[in-house]
Structure 1
Amino acid sequence: MHRRAYFAAALSAALLLQAPFASAQTAAQAPVKAKAAATPRAALSGSLTPEAAGFDPARLKRLDDYMAKVVTDGRVPGMTTLLARHGKVVEYKTYGKVGFGSGQAMPKDEIFRIYSMSKPLTGVAMMILFEQGKWRLDDPVTRYVPEFKNLKVMVSADADGKITKVEDMKRPPTMREIMSHTAGFGYGLGDEHPVDKLYREKKVLGAGSLHEMIERTAEIPLMFQPGTNWSYSSAVDIQGYIVEKLSGKPFGQFLQENVFGPLKMVDTGFSTGPAKAARLAPVYAYDKKQDKVVEAKTIFSSDMPDYSKPPRMESGGGGLVSTTWDYARFCQMILNKGQLDGVRILSPASVELMDTNVIPRNVLVNSNGSVGLRFNEAVGFGLDFMVDNDPRKAGSLEGKNTMSWGGAAGTWFWIDPTNDLFFVGMIQRLGGTGGDDLGTMARTLTYQALLHPEK
């Protein structure tokens, strides 16, 4: 994944989409002095020419040409990408159509299922409560979710994947561990691991409420003793429940009041609502039987949700929809160390904490996109973000402490505090694009064009 996120202010967002972004692609502006451009901007508005932002335009065109070819090759019907530096838009591009067979060009305000790009937003909600003193990183999760006090840990399973032996937890998972996927919870996105099989059988992610999700999770053993391994998990959905419990508000309401509303993320939420349903891009997947890309009707063995209606369970791990512009505002807030347009969401120290690797030195990762490198040696994991500790050692070109993640339908983003830039890419295809990972290629083609990072 590393190699590779509605309401009354819609008119204001539309104006922002039309004015600054159009100028980023058309008329060139006068170069901005290097000294002025090197100062991070508090607002995401206006634009910089590639030259003023330190990019070689001819080299940056390689990025545009590659993304355009992904569309013309039929890997996806269309996409949007946004590159920003120093609080200004360098490129905001749309490619192709809304869907295969559609006559509508991909608009800049298309709504996408961001799936696991929901996770960093949930992490920010958690950190808001952290700053209020409502929890601490090394608190046991059982302090807030007592249903987990009697969790067992899987020891062995038979050839059919049925768990044959369990043991007691040596200690409960900590809050730090549920925010870094080292607590031992399963997920159910696949069914190869015996614990994941149980997550599917019990339909943990299909629960009717966050509390019901907790109750179902409590019936399933952990994959491993807390803190001894890393496995992508439902821990961020558990975080959503904790936000709901500690705040006394429905999870979606807390996000709207404390994140989406203040950041003017007007098209982000757990549903589009009927009025915006037509703006939700169709999602595709490769069908082996037909040997072609078709519109997806299911995801992870479940029916595709109706996003025009509020969900039964507000999934902090993967339930949000958003736009490229909305998610860009979130990224700029993180890049600004917690504030945007004069509105502060988090303190600088809290953002730095999220951007700090918390994976123990003895934990190895089997599949994190870094060819089995230890998380702490090259590619780390902070609090609901992947973090680059040593990008060159990891084989990538971005700056140190770059924060990133992606979504199941191919969406991706990264936030690079070293170079004061971020990138958001949106497509809608499950299971990969049948070729090079777009997030990886976007990184390479962006940074090979950044020839003057001092600007």
Structure 2
Amino acid sequence: MQRLYIFILHFLIFSNSFSQETNYKQKQLINFQQKLIDDKITASNQIIIFKDDKIVYQNIQNSFKPGDKEINSKTLFPIWSMSKVVTTVGILQLIEKGLININDPVSKYIPSFSNLNCMLLDPENLKISGYGRNEERTYKCKNELKIIHLLSHRSGFATPENFYVDAIRADNLEELMDIISKEPLHYEPGTKYLYGVNQSILGRVAEVVYGKSFDVFLKESLFIPLEMFDTGFYLDKKTKKLLQPVYLKSSNIEGFNEDGITRLGNMMTYNKDSQTPLGAEGLLTTSKDFSNFCEMLLYGGVFNNKQIISSESIKLMTQKFSESYPKEYWGEKYLLGFYKGLSVFVLEDPKKMKLKAPKKIFGWPGLQNTFFWIDPENTLYGIFMSRSMTRGLPFDNILNSVYEIF
């Protein structure tokens, strides 16, 4: 009996000290979120950490700056390039159903892509020798553009200079694709990684095979099954009030984009009458909705006992298709030690950025300082939400701050 009492006493003391240590470490993560605000990297921001079937950390750190809004469960964030991962999952669904083959030529679905031109290169320094639609500096591409090239960002397409203007002027994705098809590719399809509009092109492919607009396709195929009821491409009078304003910080300006849509710091209208649904960058979502998407990826494509996408497709997403980022694209430190799968980064060598995260975590960031990752080894996912146009978000610090606790 005395031994049992001693055991219980030791257990209670250990549990209390463990709880105090955990609370202290969580306080450190809260302090990290506040430091992002103090250092003018973000305004209000939110972190969600899910581990072992439950949310273990969820904190909103508001800036209370004039012009900012306090984040809540209904706050809408433009997730920009995180949209690419959502689009990729939708396309992989269509591949699973046999409606698309991953090695199909894109011209099978978009006829205007049957006669693409490539840019001429300077063989001495491999720099692009011509930009835009200058026919004298282009030639007919030798390689055929395939679906897999779009999924893996090896199509040769960048983001054309006037892309966002064209996306507003075009009546629909079909018309926008006719415009894009006239842009010369920077490289032969399948030969080199180049970040660009690939998933927006895949949005049109989805429309052709599904028989409905791309926004309806995603709604029916992903958003309804995943209970992402507040996610989409467009705003109305009611939802416009839920949009987080853009925090801007540069050498000569600091402040907030008042309406969060059409003023400085944004290229999207989120207006159904004037914006085509762009699969590469156009989605708006809440942290709650995107948590459901992350949970599905974490559990092998399953959400609420529904198989949204196969585990084999997730394995395909996380295979190596290109090496880590070259320095000339993103700077020396950005995502070193990660390789590129289908619209996701995958951690291959944590030592290169001194990361405490394990190998094989995968995810992607968004332009306005959003970020998510999936950690299958620890049954964990993380989401960072904010809305700012500032210098780069320190993803390595976010990861290390989280893995010090969890």
Give the structure 2 partner of residue 182 of structure 1: 154
- For residues 69-113 of structure 1, the C-alpha deviation after alignment (integer angstroms, 9 at most, x for no partner) is 22245543311110111121011111115x731586322331111
| Pair 1:389 & 2:356 matched | no
For residue 333 of structure 1, report the CA deviation from its aligned partner: 0.3
The structure-2 alpha-carbon separation of the partners of 1:166 and 1:73, relative to structure 1 and needing over 3 Å to count, comes to closer
Give the structure 1 partner of residue 402 of structure 2: 446
The structure-2 alpha-carbon separation of the partners of 1:63 and 1:238, relative to structure 1 and needing over 3 Å to count, comes to same
Give the structure 2 partner of residue 121 of structure 1: 86
Match of 1:62 among 28, 39, 44: 28
Match of 2:256 among 280, 288, 294: 294
Tell whether the 8 Å contact from 1:244 to 1:251 is kept in structure 2 after alignment. Answer: yes
Tell whether the 8 Å contact from 1:284 to 1:430 is kept in structure 2 after alignment. Answer: yes
Amino acid at match of 1:86: D
Amino acid at match of 2:381: F
**Mean alpha-carbon deviation: is it higher for 114-123 or for 66-75?**
66-75
Amino acid at match of 1:174: K
Give the structure 1 partner of residue 3 of structure 2: none
| Pair 1:422 & 2:381 matched | yes
> For 2:266 and 2:171, how far apart are their aligned partners in 1?
15
> For 2:369 and 2:377, how far apart are their aligned partners in 1?
25
The structure-2 alpha-carbon separation of the partners of 1:103 and 1:314, relative to structure 1 and needing over 3 Å to count, comes to closer
SS of the aligned residue for 2:368 comes to coil
Give the structure 2 partner of residue 82 of structure 1: 48
> For 2:325 and 2:395, how far apart are their aligned partners in 1?
23
Q: Larger % of helix: which?
A: 2
The structure-2 alpha-carbon separation of the partners of 1:134 and 1:90, relative to structure 1 and needing over 3 Å to count, comes to same
| Pair 1:413 & 2:372 matched | yes
TM-score (norm 2): 0.84
> For 1:300 and 1:426, how far apart are their aligned partners in 2?
21
Alignment of 1:62-211 (within 5 A): 62-97=28-63, 100-101=65-66, 105-156=70-121, 163=134, 164-188=136-160, 197=161, 199=163, 203=166, 207-211=170-174
Larger radius of gyration: 2
Tell whether the 8 Å contact from 2:62 to 2:70 is kept in structure 1 after alignment. Answer: yes
The structure-2 alpha-carbon separation of the partners of 1:249 and 1:56, relative to structure 1 and needing over 3 Å to count, comes to same
**Mean alpha-carbon deviation: is it higher for 364-373 or for 273-282?**
364-373
SS of the aligned residue for 2:115 comes to coil
> For 2:99 and 2:399, how far apart are their aligned partners in 1?
37
Tell whether the 8 Å contact from 1:339 to 1:346 is kept in structure 2 after alignment. Answer: yes
> For 1:282 and 1:241, how far apart are their aligned partners in 2?
30
Give the structure 2 partner of residue 318 of structure 1: 281
For residue 221 of structure 1, report the CA deviation from its aligned partner: 0.7
Amino acid at match of 2:25: R
Q: Tell me the C-alpha RMSD between the 2 structures.
A: 3.2
> For 2:93 and 2:204, how far apart are their aligned partners in 1?
15
> For 1:340 and 1:235, how far apart are their aligned partners in 2?
27
Give the structure 2 partner of residue 27 of structure 1: none
Would you say how many aligned residue pairs link Structure 1 and Structure 2?
Answer: 383
Unaligned runs of 5+ in 1: 1-30, 32-48, 189-196, 451-455
Tell whether the 8 Å contact from 1:198 to 1:220 is kept in structure 2 after alignment. Answer: no
The structure-2 alpha-carbon separation of the partners of 1:151 and 1:366, relative to structure 1 and needing over 3 Å to count, comes to farther
Give the structure 2 partner of residue 246 of structure 1: 209
Tell whether the 8 Å contact from 2:262 to 2:269 is kept in structure 1 after alignment. Answer: no
- For residues 364-423 of structure 1, the C-alpha deviation after alignment (integer angstroms, 9 at most, x for no partner) is 7345658399x9x94222122122233334542222221111111111111111221111
> For 2:225 and 2:105, how far apart are their aligned partners in 1?
31
Tell whether the 8 Å contact from 2:261 to 2:269 is kept in structure 1 after alignment. Answer: no
Alignment of 1:332-371 (within 5 A): 332-359=295-322, 365-367=326-328, 369=330, 371=332
The structure-2 alpha-carbon separation of the partners of 1:410 and 1:103, relative to structure 1 and needing over 3 Å to count, comes to closer
> For 1:353 and 1:300, how far apart are their aligned partners in 2?
39
SS of the aligned residue for 2:120 comes to strand
Tell whether the 8 Å contact from 2:234 to 2:272 is kept in structure 1 after alignment. Answer: yes
TM-score (norm 1): 0.76
Amino acid at match of 1:410: N
**Mean alpha-carbon deviation: is it higher for 170-179 or for 377-386?**
377-386
- For residues 308-364 of structure 1, the C-alpha deviation after alignment (integer angstroms, 9 at most, x for no partner) is 6565300111111101111111000000010111121011111111111222x7x97
Tell whether the 8 Å contact from 2:68 to 2:245 is kept in structure 1 after alignment. Answer: no
Give the structure 1 partner of residue 199 of structure 2: 236
Percent pairwise identity: 26
> For 1:91 and 1:372, how far apart are their aligned partners in 2?
27
**Mean alpha-carbon deviation: is it higher for 278-287 or for 161-170?**
161-170
> For 1:299 and 1:187, how far apart are their aligned partners in 2?
20
SS of the aligned residue for 2:241 comes to helix
Match of 2:222 among 253, 256, 259: 259
Tell whether the 8 Å contact from 1:112 to 1:428 is kept in structure 2 after alignment. Answer: yes
Tell whether the 8 Å contact from 1:140 to 1:175 is kept in structure 2 after alignment. Answer: yes
> For 1:409 and 1:169, how far apart are their aligned partners in 2?
34
**Mean alpha-carbon deviation: is it higher for 343-352 or for 303-312?**
303-312
